[in-house]
Structure 1
Amino acid sequence: MNSVRKKIAIVNPTVPHYRKDFFLGIQQAMPCDVFTYEQIGDMKKNQFQVSDTVTCTLKKKRFSKFLIYKTQPLMQADYQTLVLMWDFSQLTTWWLLATKFFHRKRIILWGQGISVKRYLTEENTPNILLKGMLGLADGAWVYMEKEAKQWQAVFPNKKIAALNNTVSNIDEILESPGMQSISDLKNKHNIKEEVCLIFCARFENPNRRIDLLEGLIKSLDAQKFGFIIIGDGVFKPDFSMYKNVYDFGAVYDKVLKDELFGIANLYYQPGWIGLSVVEALAYGKPVITFKRSEETLQCVEYAYIQDGYNGLIVESLDELTGKLLSLNNTAIALMGANAKAYAKKYLRMNHMVDKAIGIL
């Protein structure tokens, strides 16, 4: 690191619980202030757990889909670098980019991944508005290596870092000692089925393909296959009609979550798979999902799943049912070991922090 201590300002909507250690890691490496513009109360209404990270609040206004926020706090002389959201609907970011010649601050754009809804198009052809923003910026944080290579091809002289998106508790999960026996845990929670699949996500998004979750529940032998559900939300179906489904609702107690993942053999989330996959891999659970398509949208973390290595990517319920019926304990254990190894190698928080700091 340079002998001269840089100071940076990072602008984010809020600091979710899973991002706390990332900001802490940045702040331990260099002076850094975090600015947020969303109200915590509004986030909690949407089943969104916010961290206790100390932030500075920016006043903001919305006009339809567009956002402006107050820039005066960011113009302090000691902020050499601003990390701003790479979002073309944020008009203030455009203004700060266009006036760099005046305020003379470096700007790093923080991309949240290729748009889930536009992914199939933009994975081959970068968005023209995002391209315009990066053209004015000094560099970018993106989440996946594929994105970094895509943008580096357009702007070979820009500093672009692929962070590998992860969560705050990843190291704790990876280093935690083994739980008590699975049979004891099953008895504790009254779970009887031989093979258990776990689903862990908020039911706040209609694109999670919950129809494929219920479809699998209905298609498998209820005497052999059990389903553990973690999560609440407006799109959550009534699971009470299924005797082999164990619905725990929203779970924020770590001990309970550890126990439920300890019971599970496989992680299943058919669509809109995101950061939940990181926890699943860290717990050593093979991840099962559906191939990205116009009907089944997937977030950027879908790239962590390697079919047959640390999970399964299927195209139909019939295909998935057939594969589950043919999987033996040895195959599941091998994919589980690969899942944990992948998380240890690529998804530790210090890796994400180091990559981010590398271009500041």
Structure 2
Amino acid sequence: MIAILQPLVPHYREHFFNRLQEQAPFDLYCYDGVDALRKRNLAAGSTTIKQLPAWSVGPFVLYNPLRFFKRDYKVLVLMLNFAHLSTWMILLLKPFLKQKVILWGHGISVKRYVQEEQQPSRLLKWMMQLADATWFYTPKEMALWQQVMPEMKAVALNNTISEVEKIMQQPLPDKAALREKYQIRSRRVLIYCARFNETGRRIDLLLKLMAETDPAEFSFIIIGAGKYKPDFNGYTHVHDFGAVYDPTIKQELFGLADLYFQPGWVGLSAVEAMAYGKPVCTFKRTAEVLQCVEYSYIRDGYNGLIFENMEECLYMLDKLSDDEIRTMGQQARWFVQEHLTMTAMVDNALHSLHTMNP
């Protein structure tokens, strides 16, 4: 038997667990409840879970590890998070427990990425040394750690979203008809689709771009809700649809857009945009502009654009031709098909689990 620990299961993760369950049965334990989903503006996934008692103070989490000892679990998939005090307890007792432990996580702090890229976290290194294997979200962070720990046993899952294959199976939309339907007729349409729950998304840069673009030339589609969401009513060229979970509406809104634009904190939204065939536009990762690990999926000039500053952003958006956008969009879909399907993510996890022989 296998036990997997997560805080909660949002909608974009449900297919991973459901499909993995079909080939490697496990119990999924979650220590956060429905309130945590609401606070983070997430929709719940339809995955069977077992609630795990836990206590948290700031970033530190203490969950009940006895649940994992009472059952005949041979493999535990815990989180690669040094603030999980109970995980440290399990790792230190592992020689006496006869259980294999896999740690699953980013492998790096999003907020301290620039620093940790040069000097990885010692606490995470210690955790991984105590574990039997590590699941990284993307190949880039795994490669960083393999330079530090060449003998480590690890796999990059290639983090993706639940509906990615379904999105790519949809026929290409009639962009002109959709723009007519939604009364959006600008020469260039940019779409933003992410929660406004994190200051690192740099909404100030989104607002600056809106303020400096000609409403007759550029329009913006906004999908998302959250406590940091600004009031877009003052912008005539901004079309705000709030939180959208209806796949038909989402398909239409992405279908009428030319480019995906998110200034910072780009994560799985990049996968969704590329699956819809939209080049992903964002700013270069710096200490001031934070980016999630999925930022490494964006290849400048190939499946998206990475800007150094706002001046370059305005210049590039203005000069891009329809042919260039179409080519990058096609390459974005190809990149998802080759690397970021849910089938590939599940297969990567299965390969790691099959190597565990307690």
TM-score (norm 2): 0.96
Q: How does 1:1-360 map to 2 (within 5 A)?
A: 7-179=1-173, 181-360=174-353
Q: Pick which of 287-296 and 143-152 moved more.
A: 143-152
Query: Per-residue CA shift, 1:288-330, capped at 9, x if unaligned?
Result: 0000011110000110111111111011111111111111111
SS at match of 2:21: helix
Could you list the structure 1 runs, at least 4 aligned residues long, displaced by more than 6 angstroms after superposition: none
Query: Per-residue CA shift, 1:203-242, capped at 9, x if unaligned?
Result: 1111111111111111122101110000111211111111
SS at match of 2:352: coil
Kept in 1: contact 2:202–2:289 (CA 8 A): yes
Shift in Å, 1:166: 0.4
Cα distance in 2 between the residues matched to 1:77 and 1:10: 13
Kept in 1: contact 2:158–2:339 (CA 8 A): yes
Cα distance in 2 between the residues matched to 1:325 and 1:168: 34
Kept in 2: contact 1:113–1:144 (CA 8 A): no
SS at match of 1:10: strand
Amino acid at match of 2:90: L
Shift in Å, 1:77: 4.6
Kept in 2: contact 1:19–1:168 (CA 8 A): yes
Cα distance in 2 between the residues matched to 1:156 and 1:292: 26
SS at match of 2:106: coil
Amino acid at match of 1:161: V
Kept in 2: contact 1:8–1:82 (CA 8 A): yes
Shift in Å, 1:65: 2.7
> Paired residues, what number?
353
Query: Per-residue CA shift, 1:23-51, capped at 9, x if unaligned?
Result: 11211111211000001123213312121
Cα distance in 2 between the residues matched to 1:120 and 1:231: 28
Shift in Å, 1:113: 4.4
Aligned twin of 2:356: none
Unmatched 5+ stretches in structure 1: 1-6
Cα distance in 1 between the residues matched to 2:194 and 2:36: 19
The percentage of counterpart residues that share the same residue type is: 47
Amino acid at match of 1:45: K
Shift in Å, 1:157: 3.0
Cα distance in 1 between the residues matched to 2:112 and 2:58: 20
Cα distance in 2 between the residues matched to 1:357 and 1:265: 37
Kept in 2: contact 1:114–1:122 (CA 8 A): yes
TM-score (norm 1): 0.96
Cα distance in 2 between the residues matched to 1:64 and 1:285: 38
Shift in Å, 1:106: 0.2
Cα distance in 2 between the residues matched to 1:52 and 1:193: 39
Shift in Å, 1:17: 0.6
Pick closer, same or farther for the CA change 1:113–1:258 going to 2, 3 Å: farther
Kept in 2: contact 1:84–1:110 (CA 8 A): yes
Amino acid at match of 1:152: Q
Amino acid at match of 1:200: C
Cα distance in 1 between the residues matched to 2:210 and 2:119: 38
Cα distance in 2 between the residues matched to 1:314 and 1:157: 36
Kept in 2: contact 1:97–1:133 (CA 8 A): yes
Unmatched 5+ stretches in structure 2: 354-358
Kept in 1: contact 2:107–2:142 (CA 8 A): no
Cα distance in 2 between the residues matched to 1:290 and 1:201: 16
Cα distance in 2 between the residues matched to 1:161 and 1:300: 15
Cα distance in 1 between the residues matched to 2:154 and 2:21: 20
Amino acid at match of 2:21: Q
Aligned twin of 1:4: none
